[in-house]
Amino acid sequence: MNRPLNILVLSRNPKLYSTRRLVEAGEARGHKVRVVNPLRCYMDINPIRPGVHYKGEPLGPFDAIIPRIGASITFYGTAVVRQFEMMGVFSLNESVAISRSRDKLRSLQLLARKGIGLPVSGFAYSPDDTQDLIQMVGGAPLVIKLLEGTQGKGVVLAETDKAAESVIDAFRNLNAYFLTQEFIKEANGADIRCFVIGDKVVASMMRQAQEGEFRSNLHRGGSARPIRITPEERSTAVRAARILGLNVAGVDLMRSNHGPVVLEVNSSPGLEGIEATTNKDIAGLIFEFIEKNAKPGKTKTRGRG
């Protein structure tokens, strides 16, 4: 029996499925679990006794924190996580790893540098030669993504070069950074979510886009089923999470003619879809990892970038 731990979940909404499951799983294993909105935290930044306050009181002490930092609050959320790291508290995912995963360009560059399979990608702001950018990824059909998009938002499939030019012009007028990527036609609108904890893929599901849609996100009406992944897919998912420094990650893969390609690495993967589809206690496995690894001062910046 592990000793009871005092654990803080950083989440803006205690009613979300993922947050509720983490509280339930932690308490079922005898731990004390508290949920706090990271935006309501404020920090005492000093070299002798750094602290985090909430509602007029200092927070802690905690054995571990579980950051559930939404994309829209990455800057402030990671600052709060970093403050706890300064206090020697173990963070399930470290601040620098969360920041890496949220920056689509940075994460692609880090994965490419280590030889991870990726869709052929281009990155631009206001290109002088739009046609060259389109041809760089093999021409139409191609996918164009806003750098800040999440859950399939800001993602467009351009079926002709002309359509791609129109979308790129629109993004240019928005003063937006964007990615162009080859369209993996052979995937037939399906991708694979691999849930990685530590050095293992603990669950995986195939998500299938609904008819007439190319985005397989469950939020967009996609369906999911459990799937047995190949050793190469398993290795790719674990390596991708490790390269970004994440202990827990949702790695999205696609099956292409040239092997598995990584679409995205998510630092706060949702639990609802994967638990319902695979019937696995993912929240419990997360606490199992924390029990083995949460030691004071163990937090360190893993990887580079």
In terms of Cβ atoms closer than 10 Å to its own Cβ (0-12, 13-18, 19+), residue 3 is exposed
Phi-psi domain of 63 (left: phi exceeds 0; alpha: psi -120 through 50; beta: other): alpha
Q: How confident is residue 303, by pLDDT bands cut at 50, 70 and 90? A: very low
pLDDT for 221 beyond 80? no
9-29 mean pLDDT: 97
Model's pTM, two decimal places? Answer: 0.89
pLDDT at 154: 77
Q: Once rounded to an integer, what is the mean pLDDT over residues 142-166? A: 81
Q: Position of tokens 């079922």?
A: 28
Per-residue pLDDT tens digits for 57-110: 999 899 999 999 998 899 999 999 999 999 999 999 999 999 999 988 899 999
Mean pLDDT of the chain: 89
> Which residue did the predictor score with more confidence, 190 or 128?
190
**Residue 15, both tokens:** 């009613």
Centroid of chain to Cα 82:
18
Concatenating the DSSP letter of every residue in 209-251 gives PPTT-----GGGT-EEEE-PPPHHHHHHHHHHHHHHT-SEEEE
* For residue 224, pLDDT beyond 80: yes
Domains and CATH numbers, the chain: 6-93 (3.40.50.20), 101-116+186-288 (3.30.470.20), 121-183 (3.30.1490.20)
For 41-45, 130-134, 252-256, 292-296, which range has the lowest pLDDT when averaged over its residues?
A: 292-296
Instruction: Give me the pLDDT at residue 127, please.
Output: 73
One-letter amino acid at 63 equals D
Sheet of strand 248-256: strand arrangement = 223-226, 200-208, 190-197, 248-256, 259-266
